[in-house]
Structure 1
Amino acid sequence: MSRESALSRASRYFEAGDFQSDLAHLVTYRSESQNTAPEARMECRRYLEEAMLPRLRALGFDCEIIDNPDPTGGPLLIGERREGEALPTILTYGHGDAVLGQEGRWREGLEPWVLVEEGDRLYGRGTADNKGQHLINIAALEAVLAERGHLGFNTRIVIEMSEEVGSVGLPDVFRAYKDRLTADVLIASDGPRLQPDVPTMFMGSRGGTTFDLVVETHEGAHHSGNWGGLLSDPAMILAHALACITDVRGQIKVPEWRPDSLTENVRMALRDLPVAGGQGPAVNPDWGEEDLTPAERVFGWNSFTVLAMVSGVPEAPVNAISGWARATCQLRYVVGTDPEDVVPALRRHLDAHGFESVEIRCHERGFFAATRLDPDHPWAQFVGESIRRTSGALHVLPNLAGSLPNDSFTDILEVPTIWVPHSYRGCSQHAPNEHVLKSVYHDALRVMAGVFWDLGEQGGPLA
């Protein structure tokens, strides 16, 4: 019975093909939370009842499936495995829902709900986000328990089925079940590693707000020859309005959107972190805030993006001036940005530049608030040292560039949050051809088995 034997057990689970077989089964569940059809809702419940409940109960968890208090959201599973009152309690999390499968848009030979192996890649919807990631953590717990006979800590788990629609209902469930979810720390997995061959740890995430900018100038479309020069062009107005939000290289010009939280401590944590390569697209060094490093731009600063833009009928343009134009936009923001003032600040900025006619329409789907835990926090130090002991190297981020429901853990449950992502940035999550790297998942099983072993052996940083 040793740490290395627990890591070896986790490796054998992967090498024997059992992990791949288990992941293939999870992928078959068409758990699309963005799909409002009744059969999709039933798939989300079936994922919890058939895929998660038996495995967690076999691991010693007392589990309950809870209906979402928000009718637009899917069910949630909460569970607990107790070993002793004096032991630390670890909370872990995953989400079994996925974005739409996007059938017909995957390349030849691939489809969303069947796991396909090609070399080092495993393709399928949810492989990276997030079925494979919480499967790794559950399997790592199993490896430690099988090797030691006990974990050495108490464990609580949450698996939700609404993360891809903004984790609707999760805050309400956390408030209602807070006494059953309190813990000393959250250790969970979502998102990508910074580089595939080096584990990553982050302690928070950027927030996000999505909205439409709409210009409506006249009713209907009118002949561009007869009315050109007489009617306002809504697409032209919208283009100029967007141009006043950032400059030509994407530097934000809305004063309230420029954060004050890029401290020297955060700069030190981000110093020398690689953001290029890793089988992702090429990074443009001349895009974003000019005085910041690439790592500071994506992890320590805000970014504004136009997700989609349309006017008229692009697939069948005619010689007519459209009466409307719309851009779907998003601000990703870090701690130090007031989320309640994001849209009001934009309204003031547009008005000050003469764009009172541009309407801001907020999306109903809420996004998560920005969170960040200091890299020097004792739990961050403990988990980081454990990962280095297994892998020899580690990238530490104060926060993820994307968004997670981390604020529900920090603000409602009041626990420090440690995330150890198992995917990589080129995984095509949310897109056709979603996949994971077998080499990364193999390494991640060993990393998490090491973290859980060290936790049971040492009791965490507060022991």
Structure 2
Amino acid sequence: MSQEALAQRKAALRFLEAEDQRLVRDLAELVAIPSVSTDGAHAQEIEACAAKVAEQMRRAGLEHVEILRPAGAYPYVYGDWLHAPGQPTLLLYSHYDVQPTNYLEQWESNPWQLTERNGRLYGRGAADDKGAIIIQLASLEAWVKTVGRLPVNIKMLVEGEEEVGSRNLLGFLREHRERLQADVLVVTDTENLDPEIPCLTTSLRGIITLKVEVRGLERPLHSGMAGGLAPDAALALNAILARLCWAGKRRIPVPGFYEGVKRLSGKELKALRRLKVSLNKLRQDLTLLPGVKFAHLTGVHPYEQTWRLPAVTVIAQEASSLRQASNQVLPYATALVSVRIVPEQEPKRVIRALTKELTSRAPWGVQVQVTTVGEPVKWWYIEPKGAAFEAALRALQAGYGKEPLTIGCGGSIGFVGPLCEMFGGIPALLLGIEDPQSAAHSPNESLNRTIFRNLARSLVHLYAELAQPSS
């Protein structure tokens, strides 16, 4: 690296340090807007947040900033900086929409007011994913305001529908393919295993949502007159769902459920074994109550369980509400089952296996219907090879001062695979912003201050590392 290049990096890093408190205020501006996308009741706030992101993009030095409003979709915010001829183009992705603030009584501070305590920034969206917006913009502004230019070309897209499955994103990407075409995708919406250790994610689980409906009667019946004689739909539903329980077993007892699961290579198994896991800390991170055991399969590393094995979770169940409960035999009951799928699993086969298991041998012959909710999201996996991954690992090492890890992620980011394929198989760099204490989607969501600083530093280095040497 030349002395000039080194001096430029140092200037950009000094900018981040000097602007640290202002960047926290920028994040507070975003957190203050309840841009909840999941309930359809915050359209004005969604618009306000998109406008604020556009304002912050312009302030950071991005050009051609525009709020794009496809029909039937929440707004996308786009900006770019395209003045590095001969250099690669990076597409930076983040999202400004957030989850609702359920269980308000468990929040220790106002979820819509960014609050700093014990080295963390608390507020809904602080980690998922408004912090990423500020970190990306900070890294860009650091170059533009000190050096006057970026080492690479940048396109930045901020979505407003990630928390509802990015339902319009692929269509949007196809419509604006030429405008968004890039050489490298950078996503800052995954996790680090520890705030001090940077992580590069190379696999994501996919997701399928199934609705299970049970019907046994035409109407509710008096439980005194019919209880014990008429079939109880709620009991029947729970008996059916119990077939998914693997307590005491080596796997989920559904024939065909594991078909296609990609086995870990010897290299991957070795890498997993090098990841030290404190079960006591893991219990804390997962908030297990005293006496409660881990649910993961026996003989399986916890990270293998969450990164590379499929899972089922009952995410909702309804028969009657506690408020409206009455002494009745209930005629119908419904559940939503979230299924996480892993590399090489075929969604249609998983759906077929689960449907067959859940609809057969119905208690008392009740009617059972299983339907897919929305489109399945496919898993993603990539070998961390090539110049982009090497540059990312060097950048993370420089930004954190610690050797980075390549890890998997149990969550889903459905557009990553299709977008990379659409743009000719470009590499995707998934950089961690969360950590085990972040509590994304939960009360007291927070962003670690160390990550807030070091991820921005890493991006400053990444742009320089990805730049081609001038001839």
Q: Please report the TM-score for the alignment, with normalisation by the length of structure 2.
A: 0.87
**1:375 is matched with which residue?**
384
Name the SS for the 1:327 alignment partner.
strand
**1:135 is matched with which residue?**
134
Deviation at 1:456, TM superposition (A): 3.4
CA distance in 1, matches of 2:301, 2:32: 42
**1:345 is matched with which residue?**
353
Asked if structure 1 preserves the Cα contact closer than 8 Å seen for 2:347 and 2:378, the reply is: yes
- Once the two structures are superposed, residues 17-44 of structure 1 have per-residue CA deviations (whole angstroms, 9 ceiling, x without a partner) of 111111111112221212323xx22332
1:334 is the counterpart of 2:345: no
Asked if structure 2 preserves the Cα contact closer than 8 Å seen for 1:271 and 1:295, the reply is: no
CA distance in 2, matches of 1:247, 1:21: 46
Deviation at 1:458, TM superposition (A): 5.4
Deviation at 1:95, TM superposition (A): 0.6
Asked if structure 2 preserves the Cα contact closer than 8 Å seen for 1:224 and 1:321, the reply is: yes
Deviation at 1:161, TM superposition (A): 0.7
Name the SS for the 1:35 alignment partner.
coil
CA distance in 1, matches of 2:396, 2:329: 59
Superposed CA RMSD? 2.7
Asked if structure 2 preserves the Cα contact closer than 8 Å seen for 1:102 and 1:112, the reply is: no
Moved more, 405-414 or 212-221: 405-414
CA distance in 2, matches of 1:249, 1:327: 24
Asked if structure 1 preserves the Cα contact closer than 8 Å seen for 2:388 and 2:466, the reply is: no
Asked if structure 2 preserves the Cα contact closer than 8 Å seen for 1:207 and 1:371, the reply is: yes
CA distance in 1, matches of 2:404, 2:158: 27
1:33-72 equivalent positions in 2, closer than 5 A:
33-37=37-41, 40-56=42-58, 58-69=60-71, 71=72
Deviation at 1:312, TM superposition (A): 3.6
Moved more, 287-296 or 127-136: 287-296
Q: 2:18 aligns with which of 12, 32, 46?
A: 12
**1:445 is matched with which residue?**
456
Name the SS for the 2:149 alignment partner.
coil
The alpha-carbon distance between structure 1 residues 48 and 316, as it changes in their structure 2 partners (threshold 3 A), is closer
Asked if structure 2 preserves the Cα contact closer than 8 Å seen for 1:182 and 1:415, the reply is: no
Deviation at 1:424, TM superposition (A): 1.5
1:295 is the counterpart of 2:299: no
**Counterpart AA for 1:446:** R
CA distance in 1, matches of 2:376, 2:448: 28
- Structure 1 runs of 4+ off > 4 angstroms? 282-286, 315-318, 351-356
The alpha-carbon distance between structure 1 residues 374 and 242, as it changes in their structure 2 partners (threshold 3 A), is same
1:377-392 equivalent positions in 2, closer than 5 A:
377-390=386-399, 391-392=401-402
- Once the two structures are superposed, residues 365-388 of structure 1 have per-residue CA deviations (whole angstroms, 9 ceiling, x without a partner) of x45321111123442232112212
**Counterpart AA for 2:335:** A
Deviation at 1:406, TM superposition (A): 1.7
**2:422 is matched with which residue?**
412
Deviation at 1:59, TM superposition (A): 1.4
1:47-446 equivalent positions in 2, closer than 5 A:
47-56=49-58, 58-69=60-71, 71=72, 73-102=73-102, 104-107=104-107, 110-249=109-248, 251-258=251-258, 259-264=260-265, 265-274=267-276, 276=278, 277=281, 280-281=285-286, 286-315=294-323, 317-354=325-362, 357-364=367-374, 366=375, 368-390=377-399, 391-397=401-407, 399-404=408-413, 405-413=415-423, 414-446=425-457
**Counterpart AA for 2:406:** V
Structure 1, unpaired ranges of 5+: none
CA distance in 1, matches of 2:163, 2:323: 29
Q: Please report the TM-score for the alignment, with normalisation by the length of structure 1.
A: 0.88
The alpha-carbon distance between structure 1 residues 286 and 77, as it changes in their structure 2 partners (threshold 3 A), is closer
Name the SS for the 1:11 alignment partner.
helix
The alpha-carbon distance between structure 1 residues 299 and 157, as it changes in their structure 2 partners (threshold 3 A), is same
Asked if structure 2 preserves the Cα contact closer than 8 Å seen for 1:65 and 1:78, the reply is: yes
The alpha-carbon distance between structure 1 residues 377 and 243, as it changes in their structure 2 partners (threshold 3 A), is farther
Asked if structure 1 preserves the Cα contact closer than 8 Å seen for 2:152 and 2:464, the reply is: no
The alpha-carbon distance between structure 1 residues 205 and 385, as it changes in their structure 2 partners (threshold 3 A), is same
Name the SS for the 1:420 alignment partner.
strand
Asked if structure 2 preserves the Cα contact closer than 8 Å seen for 1:220 and 1:323, the reply is: yes
- Once the two structures are superposed, residues 125-184 of structure 1 have per-residue CA deviations (whole angstroms, 9 ceiling, x without a partner) of 211111111210110122133343322211111111111111121101111111111211
The alpha-carbon distance between structure 1 residues 35 and 120, as it changes in their structure 2 partners (threshold 3 A), is same
Name the SS for the 1:299 alignment partner.
helix
The alpha-carbon distance between structure 1 residues 95 and 446, as it changes in their structure 2 partners (threshold 3 A), is same
Moved more, 322-331 or 405-414: 405-414
Deviation at 1:315, TM superposition (A): 4.7
CA distance in 2, matches of 1:260, 1:121: 38
Asked if structure 2 preserves the Cα contact closer than 8 Å seen for 1:257 and 1:337, the reply is: no
Asked if structure 2 preserves the Cα contact closer than 8 Å seen for 1:144 and 1:453, the reply is: no
Asked if structure 1 preserves the Cα contact closer than 8 Å seen for 2:54 and 2:66, the reply is: no
The alpha-carbon distance between structure 1 residues 416 and 297, as it changes in their structure 2 partners (threshold 3 A), is same
Identity of aligned residues (%): 26
CA distance in 2, matches of 1:412, 1:57: 31
Asked if structure 1 preserves the Cα contact closer than 8 Å seen for 2:362 and 2:368, the reply is: no
The alpha-carbon distance between structure 1 residues 179 and 266, as it changes in their structure 2 partners (threshold 3 A), is farther
Name the SS for the 2:24 alignment partner.
helix
Q: 2:26 aligns with which of 8, 22, 25?
A: 22
Deviation at 1:13, TM superposition (A): 2.1
